[in-house]
Amino acid sequence: MKVGNIFSRIPKLLSDESFEELISSQNCKIERIISSGHSTPKCKWYDQNKNEFIIVLKGNAELLFEENNKVVKMCEGDYVNIPAHVKHKVQKTDSQKETIWLAIFY
């Protein structure tokens, strides 16, 4: 059994986004992501082999989807389910406070 708190051990300064695998199995991975003013590099797109469900637990962010150039603005409690191979990137995260995401790959 693993016990923890999603809001504990938050780094004070983040030069890069923080990715922490919380749980992993053959078919599912759950990850905590912490961002602070971070975005995906302009020339990079995420193109994952698995579906990805993400929810913003704290802060806010904007995702950009390549297919239709659609921007999805996310605030605390907002989630999006991204099918496998849908290219996307983080366009913006809050620079004044950390954004804490939960990502579930399945």
| Domain coordinates in residue numbering, the chain | 18-105
CATH topology of domain 18-105: Jelly Rolls (2.60.120)
Quick: pLDDT tens for 43-92: 999 999 999 999 999 999 999 999 999 999 999 999 999 999 999 999 99
pTM of the model: 0.89
Q: How high is the pLDDT of residue 12?
A: 80
DSSP output for the chain:
-----TTSS--S--SS-EEEEEEE-SS-EEEEEEESS----TT--B--SS-EEEEEEES-EEEEETTTTEEEEE-TT-EEEE-TT--EEEEEE-SSS-EEEEEEE-
Quick: pLDDT tens for 33-54: 999 999 999 999 999 999 999 9
Distance in angstroms (rounded) separating the CA atoms of residues 67 and 69: 6
Q: Are 32 and 56 in contact (CB under 8 A)?
A: no
